[in-house]
Structure 1
Amino acid sequence: MEELGLISELPIRRFTDNGAYLGLHSGDEVLLPQGYLKGNEAEGDLIEVFVYTDSEDRPVAVTERPKALLDEFAVLEVKERTSFGAFLDWGLLKDLFVPNAEMAKDMEVGSKHLIRVCVDHKTNRLIGVSKYQDFIEPAPPEFMSGLPLTGLIFDKTDLGFKVLVESQFEGLLYANEVFEKLELGEKRTVYLKKRRDDGKLDLQLLPPGREKYEEGAEKILSLLEQKGMLKLHDKSDPEEIKAMLGMSKKHFKQSIGQLYKARKIILLPDGIALNSET
């Protein structure tokens, strides 16, 4: 079935009490259950659907879109662990099954993992595979320092954050160079620092050429670049500063002093903001 795991526009062939039957390219039909119909559809209408298999491994169409299609990656959370595998939340009523044999490491309920959606050719159903390295390629030698890339944050180690780059390469953001909170599953623009000999990539969050500051100042600057303004100043309550930035008031004052001296921020009566003139 060529539509399995993909988004397709399929025509309505007929209606039953169970829903609408859509025509597949093979000539067969797939059910779009009644709950996914708006009530104003007619035979011949094209419906955009995702096709997968239900709990009894029967093909079914839904109008929802999962977090990853066939041959795509996503960071998914484990909802249930069994003796034969794990079930992960991929945004559909039926969770995505990852067999034990396809796990890169053991999975626990609540943990998040980089998953690629694949077809199990023995059962002809969609499964998840966490052995991502089977699908990773060495980055091409022509990748140059400073190149902007699309990254998916998928794991945290003692060294830093592992990143899936352009859905096919592996990179690393070093922990001592990250001054903001990153979430697993977050997509970010990252910048190439260096291509290593093994084809993996050293990455950074900042575009090349931007001056780096002391860790506290860098954290404040990163937040300001996201928000534009922070309602914190040298008269703010120490607990308020700690709750928002995770630093002491003394460290905060030193950091904003460094940024003010570099003309990166302006001081407002009720906070600090980026200096738009730099």
Structure 2
Amino acid sequence: MNVSQHSSFQPEIGEVAYLKVVAVNDTGAFLDWGRPKDLLLPYSEQRARPPAGKRVMVMIFEDDQGRPTASMRLDDFIVDRAEGLAAGDKVCLVIGERTDLGVKAVVDHRFWGLLYHADLPRPLRRGERLEGYVRQVREDGRLDLSLTPSGAAKQQLAAQRVMDALEAHQGFLALSDKSPADVIKAQLGVSKSAFKQAIGKLYKQRKIVIEKDGIRLVKASDD
């Protein structure tokens, strides 16, 4: 489920967040983090000098006096080598900067990981929060990530995407096994092969019927 940044979102201490600068003074910048008192980003924790109105990605931590404080120096808190994770694990992602290979993301507010460009169903926004999956833990401990699960869980997700889309479109989707892969990906966020497996499974379960122009949801009264 997509958990994008919005005005009512309230990050906690120990989390990475993409926050708006609302004021700047001699102490530092102050960030809107959804609470009555703005969050201080001291000059010592800045990598650049963000003006009011700009959004910055920060880690929220407690300073020596136990006060919530922000830091743009993410590498002081986020490490490349992950521990305690395995391929297939569901994780929380905060989207970071683009690279030549893909998009960096903060995993569970503790580790860096990478989503490859070829695996992305849509463009991702910096600071976006969403669920993801560990695709692979490399020998050096670095994480390759995916937005969809693998194996049986991936098939189940594809089937659920089809059912959700049918419900949202009055029980009919103008998609079939002859539809272009990019159209299926854009509409459902899954690959064509996953879509074909999903509709085959749903057809066998008598949850859908396959028509000439698409697929239709089987209602209880249709059985």
TM-score category of the 2 structures, normalised to the smaller one: 0.5 to 0.7
Structure 1 residues 135, 117: CA separation in 2 closer, same or farther (over 3 Å shift)?
same
- For residues 68-107 of structure 1, what are the alpha-carbon distances to aligned partners after superposition, in whole Å with 9 as ceiling and x for unaligned? 343x113132132526432211111121111222023443
- Which structure shows the higher helix fraction? 2
**Equivalent residue, structure 1, for 2:5:** none
Task: Say which one has the larger Rg.
Answer: 1
TM-score computed with the length of structure 2 as normaliser:
0.61
Secondary structure at 2:118's aligned position in 1?
helix
What's 1:224 paired with?
A: 161
> Which runs of 5 or more residues in structure 2 are unaligned?
1-7, 200-207, 219-223
Residue aligned with 1:262, SS:
helix
Q: Cα deviations across residues 199-256 of structure 1 (Å, max 9, x unaligned)?
A: 33111122233699xxxxxxxx69936934364527xxxxxxxxxxxxxx99538999
Q: Is the 8 A contact 2:21 2:56 kept in 1?
A: no
Aligned letter for 2:136?
A: K
Which position in structure 2 is the counterpart of 1:262? 196
State the match for 2:221 in structure 1.
Answer: none
The number of equivalent residue pairs is 184
Q: 1:135 to 1:250 in 2, by over 3 A?
A: closer
TM-score (norm 1): 0.51
Q: Which amino acid counterpart does residue 114 of structure 1 have in structure 2?
A: V
**2:32 paired residue number:** 89
Q: What's the offset of the Cα at 1:134?
A: 0.8
Aligned to 2:183: 252
Change beyond 3 A, Cα 1:177–1:76: same
User: Residues 166, 255 of structure 1: CA spacing in aligned structure 2 closer, same or farther, 3 A cutoff?
Assistant: closer
Flag the 1:132–1:274 CA change in 2: closer, same or farther, 3 A: farther
RMSD: 4.3
CA contact (8 A) 1:76 1:89 kept: no
Alignment CA distance shift 1:81-1:273 (3 Å):
farther
Letter in 1 for 2:161: L
Deviation at 1:180, TM superposition (A): 3.6
Q: Which has the higher strand share?
A: 1
Determine what percentage of the aligned residue pairs are the same residue: 25
Say whether residues 1:74 and 2:74 are aligned partners.
no
Unaligned runs of 5+ in 1: 1-64, 213-220, 235-248
Quickly say closer, same or farther: Cα 1:77–1:195, change in 2 above 3 A: same
Aligned residue in 2 for 1:190: 133
Q: Which has the higher contact order (CA 8 A, sep 6+)?
A: 2
